[in-house]
Structure 1
Amino acid sequence: MFISPWVIGFLAFVVFPIVYSLAISMFQYTGLQSAQFLGLDNYGRMLADPLTWTSLGNTLYYSAWAVPVGLVVALLLALAMNRQVREVVVYRTALYIPSLAPIFALSFIFIVLVNPGTGIANQLITLFGGQERDLLAEPTTAKLVIVAMAQLGAGNAALIFLAGLNNIPQTLYEAARIDGASPIQQFGRITLPLLTPAIVFNLITGVSGGLQVFTQAYIMTRGGPNNGTLFYMLYLYRNAFSYADLGYASALAIGLFIVGLALAVILYGVSRRFTNYEVAA
């Protein structure tokens, strides 16, 4: 009885949409007209569609940069939040606040920051001898701008790392200092191994979030230039709501679900070799 609200919500908002998407992915369906059964034709079309692979490649490229960089930034933030100083509460608040900003608002801010005429990004580039350029007009730099923007949300992962840091017994550090271990050795031999459960959690959730990147490209570049920021979710959105091809969009959604599930299984399987659950507890 007590878990029934969660169970009902899970069935209504997670299980049912997946099953419904799987069902209509086998139809040609606009949402207004009657559906026509196509079988697996939408999946064959998806595999033969070059934009499917372009969007998937862009999404994996983004994830390959944003997730590892995000883990490093989050870990550095957590280490800063864990400093034993009197003003630590103020520092923690200041470091976490950027992750609360809405993505659509940050997108408009970054459009101003990378403006080729007045943006601070170009001012820094020219200050160090580089050429002024429109960073959102080139496929690679546009993706990297979105990767940089993603780091403002590292505060959420930093809280997970901070909880992991607080769970490490201080007696281990005291013993290491007595044995003459340097701070770098303490980090490599104690902190990092005992943070592996938090690292795995943030890695899997980061990959999941990376595969669903959408808002930044929708607002900042509309998928351009030359489909350079056409991410998978943006392409799915176009098919569903711009082209009213809900059957094909559902097939794309199922494809993304399979890719995400496969990556999560792979990451979890690989992580079991080096994750220290017993010691962290």
Structure 2
Amino acid sequence: MAQLTKSSTGTQPLALTKKNTFFNKSNITGWLFAAPWIIGLIIFYVFPLGSSIYFSFTTYSILQPGEFVGLDNYKELFHDKIFWISIYNTVYFAVFFVPLSIIFGVSLAMLLNMKVKGMALYRTIFFLPTLVPHVALAVLWMWLLNPGFGLVNGMLDMIGIQGPAWLGSETWSKPSLILMSLWGIGQAVIIYLAGFGDIPEEFYEAAEVDGANWFQKTFYVTLPLLTPVIFFNLVMGTIGAFQQFTLPYTMTNGQGTPANSLTFYVMYLYDNGFKFFKMGYASAMAWILFVIIMALTAVIFLTSKRWVHYQGK
């Protein structure tokens, strides 16, 4: 016997009541307003995502439909020398850039958080590099780091130090890229400044009453309460580091020179997909990158319980 529910007109089946509630006028209106976004999500995200999974198991290129080859693309990747070089370069960049960006970002934000006249101007100056397009940024630093007439080596010569070849050296090419990337951390600094503004002054007053000095207040009050912001920038910085593309591609014209020392993972993925038209191979690379980023993000989230401190908890 169907389950009954009471209403103003008597008793109706519960399933029918739920159906009428789902298709009432307000729900239909809501779905109609959300329909453009849902359709766009399906067309531009869900469908390409599903297609890339299928293409990663095929020899698909932009010019030919290709054939289903199973796991051959993934097997070939593990025997691809350039693939492993690109992973090494990307991991090298992420391991050094992400911690340095947090250290320099927090330190710079602490300096810009001081009560000094004209601080708004200083904050603007440090934020301006983030507004420069990456292509223009790459051209600028190529001039600065030029081994023959660059400003950096010129200043080093003035103090008796012979500067390296920078972008022309296998040893210094990746440190040069890290230096360029650190120049544009103004956006992270703004987020840290917002985090500083969220720390109540009562904590500092209580620490001062207890006799804490500046060093103790920094390490026992400021940094612990700033860890949610550090956590956010750590996740976003890690994802961004593994997707490094524009700077090295612009500086090397897509060649990754010298000796592939600036061939990053996304650069090699792009070359396979749009230069060599190996779209199935590139799709397999994209899904490997997705798994790597998801795994690292999961590790960061799991370990965050030990070092991220939220106010009121």
TM (norm. structure 1) is 0.94
Cα deviations by residue, 1:102-160 (Å, 9 ceiling, x for unpaired)? 11110000100011111011113323332243211112211111100101221111122
Alignment pair present for 1:218 and 2:249? yes
With over 3 angstroms needed to count, the CA separation of the structure-2 counterparts of 1:3 and 1:128, relative to structure 1, is farther
Greater relative CO, 1 or 2 (CA 8 Å, sep 6+): 1
SS of match in other structure, 2:307: coil
1:17 positional shift: 3.0
Pick one of 303, 309, 313 that aligns with 1:270.
303
Number of the residue aligned with 2:102: 71
Unaligned stretches of 5+ in structure 1?
none
Deviates more, 1:1-10 or 1:24-33: 1-10
Number of the residue aligned with 2:260: 227
Number of the residue aligned with 2:21: none
Work out the number of aligned pairs and report it: 280
Alignment pair present for 1:186 and 2:217? yes
Q: Take 1:71 and 1:235, find their aligned partners in 2: how far apart are those partners?
A: 27
With over 3 angstroms needed to count, the CA separation of the structure-2 counterparts of 1:182 and 1:6, relative to structure 1, is farther
Number of the residue aligned with 2:16: none
Q: Which amino acid aligns with 1:38?
A: V
Q: Take 1:9 and 1:193, find their aligned partners in 2: how far apart are those partners?
A: 41
Alignment pair present for 1:236 and 2:236? no
Cα deviations by residue, 1:155-197 (Å, 9 ceiling, x for unpaired)? 1111221111111110110111122111111000000000111
Pick one of 55, 66, 74 that aligns with 1:35.
66
Deviates more, 1:86-95 or 1:135-144: 86-95
Unaligned stretches of 5+ in structure 2?
1-29
Question: Is the CA contact (8 Å cut-off) linking 2:164 and 2:172 kept in structure 1?
Answer: no
Question: Is the CA contact (8 Å cut-off) linking 1:77 and 1:155 kept in structure 2?
Answer: no
Number of the residue aligned with 1:92: 123
Q: Which amino acid aligns with 2:197?
A: N
Cα deviations by residue, 1:57-86 (Å, 9 ceiling, x for unpaired)? 100000111111111121122223322234
Greater Rg, structure 1 or structure 2?
Answer: 2
Q: Which amino acid aligns with 1:150?
A: S
Number of the residue aligned with 1:134: 165
Percent of paired sites with the same residue: 40
TM (norm. structure 2) is 0.84
